[in-house]
Amino acid sequence: MLDHFLCYKAKKARGEERFEKRVVALSDQFQQRQVKLIGVEQFCNAVDKNGEGILDPSAHLTCYTVGRPISVVRPRVISTDQFGELELNVRKRRTQLCVPTQETGATADLKRVEVPSLDHFELYSAATAPGTTKFERREVGLEDQFLDETVELKKPVRLGVPTDKNSEGISDPTTHLTCYSVKAPRFEKRDVEVANQFGEFRLTVKKPSMLCVPSGKQVVTDD
């Protein structure tokens, strides 16, 4: 089982050391390759959607930009989630690697720094395939530690694929994330203290960018 995640634009907080770029090996259902992680792009909270609850409120994801991604695949997939089925073109340009993360501030659970049950996810750009059913915009209620608002989901923008980083394994290879761009009320940016495999640091969290929904995936074509 996987939570919904509300992702916010984010960057290293002022005064923090810059992220040290590094090369990691990634393997998922589409491809295997080495990539360079450039810097923080998003921070994601487990979120309660429409009062459905949260399985693990301590679980977070920090998403890093993958530099110059070279992809040998451009699949078309059918994504199935709470909103129905969508046929998506998965694009090879610009991906992000989302890494399991814990919050380490005064109100956080300091017993765990890792989240063993939460996989890494590579977020591929995605869009509704031409000539197929489009996503109907809709409003959903979202509540996490930063926000308690009704937002509008606009369209699918990313497909999150469970990913093996540096041969660390995958807990659940079947559950994906389909991410929808959101139109949210004005948001006041704030700092948060976090820790993951790459160390402990402060992030400045800015406006909400997308809601990632647990989903199933079936590959239609793999060009």
CA distance 103 to 108: 6
pLDDT one-digit tens code per residue, 53-100: 999 998 999 999 998 766 666 789 999 999 999 999 998 777 999 999
- Looking at residue 114, its pLDDT comes to 46
Question: In the chain, what's the furthest Cα-to-Cα distance?
Answer: 50
The structural domains of the chain, with segments of one domain joined by +, span: 4-222
Cβ atoms of residues 185 and 49 within 8 Å:
no
Res 102 pLDDT > 60: yes
Q: What is the pLDDT of residues 1-52, one digit of tens each?
A: 899 999 999 999 999 999 999 999 999 999 899 999 999 999 999 999 999 9
Distances in Å between the Cα of 188 and the Cα atoms of 185, 191, 204, 207 are 10, 10, 11, 7
Token couple for 58: 């301590």
Strand partners, 211: 6, 180
Return the pLDDT at 112.
41
Whole-angstrom distance, CA of residue 214 vs CA of residue 212: 7
What confidence tens digit (pLDDT) does each residue in 131-161 have? Answer: 999 999 999 999 999 999 999 999 999 999 9
Main-chain phi, psi angles of 97, to 5 degrees = -110, 120
